[in-house]
Structure 1
Amino acid sequence: MLDEVATSHTSSRAGRRLPRLLAVFGPGLVVMLADTDVGSVITAGQSGVQWGYKLLALQFVLVPILYMVQELTVRLAIFTGRGHGELIRDTFGKGWAWISAVGLGVATLGALLTEFSGVAGVGELYGLPRYISLPIAAITLLVVVITGSYRRVERVAIAVGLFELAFFFVAWAAHPNLSEMLVGSISIPYRNPDYLYLAAANIGAVVMPWMVFYQQSAVADKRLRPDHLTVARWDTAIGALLTQLIMAAVLIACAATIGRTNPGASLSSVGQMSQALTPFLGNTVGNMVFGLGVLGAGMVAAIVASLAFAWGLGEVTGYRRSLELHPLEAHWFYGVYALCVVVGAAVVGVWPDLVSLNVGVQVMNALMLPIVLGFLIALAVQALPQAHRLRGWYLWTVVIVAAVTCALGVFGGLSGAGLV
């Protein structure tokens, strides 16, 4: 009898805990699914084509770095209740806040160009012209956000982003050679500027300014409390591992197929990647599976990047900003989001060759890392309550990891451009 009572009590407690866990989960998973955006997918694909498996190990090295960065945004949001831009403004002044907002704006524009280029590329795989696919995508993004609460937007973003799991099937269908994968991943031509440039692009594809702004603002908007910290960290950790596994899957698929038969190929668009993979996967399956993955990546990243800028700009200027507010109550917030979506779609529609900027956008993100990580660490040292500030060995670990990551990203980007 006592055993039955204990079992019933345990089951009841677990039943109450599960909804609570699910309620906290979301911001980390959403931002990580967005992290594997169209530009990141093309960067990973190009890495596999040009260098085989030589950039594969980097994808896994970046997992703890990504977690370390985004965990700070969770900690800042939970213990201050404020978004990233607002916290910079209140801690360091409006001038520094505007510098961060300008950097966010540049990164957001670059991201949106790659996302809408990817969406348009998927449409073209099925004969759908851009003047049809881009407006459909833009209207969908506007409807999802303007007609929903934060929780609904989060659920839609996760559902759309999970289409990226299709890349695991692509990697499996490519039948990679495991021994070649192992040997290639530990062979690193660190003196080659072209290799360093793509390494910088992969680093920039992992830590982006709009990710920092989005997750901190989303956690604050969701009103997570200190007792949610552990679950929020798991949310971030699972997302960090998932996004890098997806990047690795794209790299492996391209290395095992195109990289083996045509290592000199240049993949600058979704169409080129899909067409190059179809001889190995079949035309119908290749287009469908790869198209679903890219569509999921592009749409969820467009939502996250646009919301990040709308939140970030509002935190610097002071206008009302929350997905829990009606559009008439926060017209600037929703207006900025809508403007981002419309401008991104319009620019890609007018200048369709912008897909060639995909890798370059990721390198630009790498060059901005010192500013992004510098602000984040400074806030974690100064703005958090004393008990939760970075200190001791973990502070120095974060500083050293951030410094090395920034140095590799900046040096690789400048080296590949012939500036060092």
Structure 2
Amino acid sequence: MGTAELPRRRRFSLTRRQWMIATMLAAWGPGLIVMLADTDAGCIITAAQSGDQFGYAMVLPQLLLMPVLFAVQEITVRLGIVTGKGHGTLIREQFGKWWGLLSAGTLLLSAIGALLTEFAGVAGVGELFGISKWVTVPTTTAFLVGLAFTGSYRRSERIGIAIGLAELAFVPAMLLAHPKVHDLLHGMGTFPVGNTQYVYLLAANIGAVIMPWMIFYQQSAVVQRKLSISALRQARWDTAVGTVLTQGIMIVVVIALAASVGRKDTNAALNDVGQIAGALTPYLGSGNAKWLVGASILGGALVAALVVSLAGSWGIAEVLGWKHSLDERISRRNAKFYVTYALSHIIGAVLVLASFNLVSLAVDCEVMNALLLPVVLGFLLALEAKALPTEHRMRGAYRVIITALCVIVMGFGLYMVPNTLGF
């Protein structure tokens, strides 16, 4: 009898394992793609500057930012899964249409500004290999617009994650730079807070960790996935793994530059793709520097462009009550959403191709994001306390700690404003 029951037990075990895998795959995705988008072209450049100027002293701050990033994005997961509504929709319902329009309008402007950075990154990678921006930028625009028009959110998400994983190309770059463990441990215990440039770069790294569009995107994405409360645990794991992945990439970039360019104390200019590849060439070789830096920044720029434009389009559609499902092909019912998505890419591409003053635009974008962050995090905490049932809200010491961390992040964001403007 025991022998006869064994196959049935095995079948049950296998079925249960398959069920667990299916549950994981159903919930995983939004956290991974939004975190990969968080390590975009601008963030990689910021991490490169940090490693060049202050070496391993910028590694520990990246580790300390992990729980902050996870906590903020985990709130968006709970809001999306428990309420079944996007961030813009909740703001409109809880605080009124005008507050919703304010948050969505500034989000859209921020998204277009972020797209400029991503398209500039794509153009820089192309120029690294002798390809004109008149080829790379229109091609990228057509690809990203076409991707959303396929009628499948999951297809777009999977392709975005696959592209974003190219950021891991910086791992072999770090290994080729031959970092020394002793120097790494020593640098992690160094905090030159008396140096204004260090504090400014620290603020830039903190500001780069939580982008306003990340909150809108992940909440809308879990709603798009139609995840139930039973999937909340897996969605949290998705967010946790994504958090470790994105901050891990930032740490890898910091270490790669600290172990190479940073050792010479040159404070090299690292403001674009070509300068980063050029600075690493003596340590990695010309071919390795081009391909590894190019792949990493291109992957980050493409996945960020996809996520940013969707976040802005979703936010506008939710506030205005438009149909906005990527699982439906374009029709009269959802045309406004798709047009908004396409226009965000087209406007960003045109501005880059028209050779506007991109430095000035980037500065304006950074200031706008810094100013927007307190508004977005303020709304996030208010919605968590107001829109969720009691059993799904933060309580006690955890609420106090997370609120305090959000206030610190908002403070660093605002700190960047006068410095960015040169005051």
2:390 corresponds in structure 1 to 386
TM-score with structure 1 length normalisation? 0.95
CA drift of 1:99 comes to 1.9
1:348 corresponds in structure 2 to 352
Q: Alignment partner of 2:56: what SS?
A: coil
1:313 corresponds in structure 2 to 316
- Report the more deviating stretch, 98-107 or 304-313: 98-107
**Partner Cα separation in structure 2 for residue 249 and residue 413 of structure 1:** 27
2:207 corresponds in structure 1 to 204
Q: How does 1:18-417 map to 2 (within 5 A)?
A: 18-328=21-331, 329-351=333-355, 354=358, 361-362=365-366, 364-414=368-418
**Aligned amino acid, residue 128 of structure 1:** I
**Partner Cα separation in structure 2 for residue 167 and residue 132 of structure 1:** 25
**Residue 414 to residue 407, structure 1, CA distance change in 2 (3 Å):** same
CA drift of 1:40 comes to 0.4
Q: Alignment partner of 2:125: what SS?
A: helix
**Aligned amino acid, residue 40 of structure 2:** D
CA drift of 1:186 comes to 1.8
Q: Alignment partner of 1:325: what SS?
A: coil
**Residue 146 to residue 416, structure 1, CA distance change in 2 (3 Å):** closer
8 Å CA contact retained: 1:138, 1:345: yes
- Report the more deviating stretch, 71-80 or 7-16: 7-16
CA drift of 1:172 comes to 1.2
- Report the more deviating stretch, 234-243 or 100-109: 100-109
**Residue 297 to residue 368, structure 1, CA distance change in 2 (3 Å):** same
Count of aligned pairs between the two proteins = 419
**Aligned amino acid, residue 308 of structure 2:** A
- What's the CA shift string for 1:322-358, capped at 9, x where partnerless? 1012111311111111011111111111227626866
Q: Alignment partner of 1:340: what SS?
A: helix
**Pairwise CA RMSD of aligned residues?**
1.8
8 Å CA contact retained: 2:87, 2:220: yes
Q: Alignment partner of 1:368: what SS?
A: helix
CA drift of 1:412 comes to 4.9
- Report the more deviating stretch, 189-198 or 219-228: 189-198
**Partner Cα separation in structure 2 for residue 352 and residue 117 of structure 1:** 11
**Aligned amino acid, residue 73 of structure 2:** Q
- What's the CA shift string for 1:238-296, capped at 9, x where partnerless? 00010000011111111111122253212110111111112211111221121111111
8 Å CA contact retained: 2:192, 2:198: yes
* Gap regions ≥5 residues in structure 1: none
8 Å CA contact retained: 2:207, 2:409: no
**Residue 152 to residue 165, structure 1, CA distance change in 2 (3 Å):** same
**Partner Cα separation in structure 1 for residue 356 and residue 420 of structure 2:** 25
**Partner Cα separation in structure 2 for residue 127 and residue 356 of structure 1:** 25
Seq. identity, %: 47
**Partner Cα separation in structure 2 for residue 359 and residue 42 of structure 1:** 14
8 Å CA contact retained: 1:274, 1:287: yes
- Report the more deviating stretch, 126-135 or 323-332: 323-332
**Residue 186 to residue 124, structure 1, CA distance change in 2 (3 Å):** same
**Aligned amino acid, residue 217 of structure 1:** S
**Partner Cα separation in structure 2 for residue 242 and residue 366 of structure 1:** 24
**Residue 259 to residue 276, structure 1, CA distance change in 2 (3 Å):** same
Q: Alignment partner of 2:380: what SS?
A: helix
Q: Alignment partner of 2:209: what SS?
A: coil
CA drift of 1:5 comes to 4.1
Q: Alignment partner of 1:52: what SS?
A: helix
